[in-house]
Amino acid sequence: MSIEQPFADFVMSVGHQSITSAGELTAVTEETALETARAQKSIVMGLVPFDPSRPATLWVPQSYTVEERKDAGTATNGSHNFPAPSRVEGIDNPRYRQAVGDAVARMNNGEFDKVVLARTLTAHYDQPLKIADVYDNLTLQQPRAYTFSVKLPDSDEYLMGASPELVFKTEAGGRFNTHPLAGSAQRSAHPGDLEDMQIGEQLMRSAKDRAEHATVIDDIRSRLAPLTEELDAPAVPELMTTPQLWHLGTKITGVLKGHLSSLDGARAIHPTPAICGTPRDIALESIREYEDFDRGYFGGLVGYMDADGNGSWALVLRCARVSPHRATLFAGAGIVRASQPESEHAETATKLGTFGKVLGISTR
């Protein structure tokens, strides 16, 4: 069933601002993007797949708007209700648990150090979803995230998500920051209470999570060093929160060399160990072996940049491909030697729950 577009082809909220496309989109390559944006007095917006060997999907819009992000309510204030799905596939995923167990065994044999394994959950609908209402719920429920909606080419699907993670942002003068997250824990049923604070403190003290986080920071630092004039990465991470999770995060800052763009910086570190694993090549091969779906843009990048190359790129996380009669949700977890199949299955269920809550469905 085809639908009329309920809103723009591309919408992304960063901080207090929303970037929205208008009019016709001109498809461009990474090589021609900035030149075309300058010629059309516009910007570049788009997606980068998880697989770093695949080309980016980029556009220059005929025009665009930059507006203050609308005030977000609570999870129940102004939210939309949707029909119950006719069926949901993937709540229990024995294959995923088996993959985690196999990966841990290989790590204990010294084949690699970490791999991020993902799974999907698909909800099917007899009564069609109102796509615009889905995005309204997402922005209402995730006021602090990098929320986005992108109409996928030649499809009735929209890629929507509420990413907690900024991959790369640049400003005038080549100054940049990247804010990787690695290591997470589910928050309590009452965020902000004593139990919730104790969960955060336990995460900060967790040797497993701190080691996982340090691996990510070391990898990003080594990949950015050849591209930068200045580079600063704090030695100790900070605690970050989403409505569902605690995360360990480190804000890395610096100055890029020459005329490198925000996309150049993002490409240099993508995919990080936080979404792929280490060593990268072996982790990529393992993901292709263990996962029974093509990630496509899940775990990739979504963002925009101006004609000078300054802009923001976030990880495509806490996301779903949504069409009127189907929503496919994605979530992954970092697998290390200490990982347990049941706990990693539970962690992905929590992450799936971000978009599950948008639709009003259980992911457990």
Per-residue DSSP letters for 162-187? Answer: EE--EEEEE-GGGEEEE--EEEEEEP
Q: Is 208 a catalytic site residue? A: no
Closest of 274, 163, 269, 255 to residue 214, by C-alpha: 274
Element (H, E) at 136: helix 131-141
Query: What's the CA gap between 355 and 362, in Å, rounded?
Result: 10
Among 4, 35, 89, 114, the active-site one is: 114
Query: What's the CA gap between 154 and 148, in Å, rounded?
Result: 19
Give the chain's count of helices (H) and strands (E). Answer: 8, 20
Task: Give residues with Cβ within 8 angstroms of 173, minimum separation 6.
Answer: 255
Assign residue 227 a region (left: φ > 0; alpha: ψ between -120 and 50; beta: otherwise): alpha
Query: What's the CA gap between 292 and 345, in Å, rounded?
Result: 16
Task: Give residues with Cβ within 8 angstroms of 177, minimum separation 6.
Answer: 166, 168, 169, 251, 252, 253, 254
Amino acid (1-letter code) at residue 295: R
Q: Is 212 a catalytic site residue? A: no
**Residue 287 CB burial class (10 angstroms; 0-12, 13-18, ≥19):** buried
3-state secondary structure of 359: helix
Among 151, 157, 165, 212, the active-site one is: 165
Query: Which residues does the annotation mark as catalytic?
Result: 114, 165
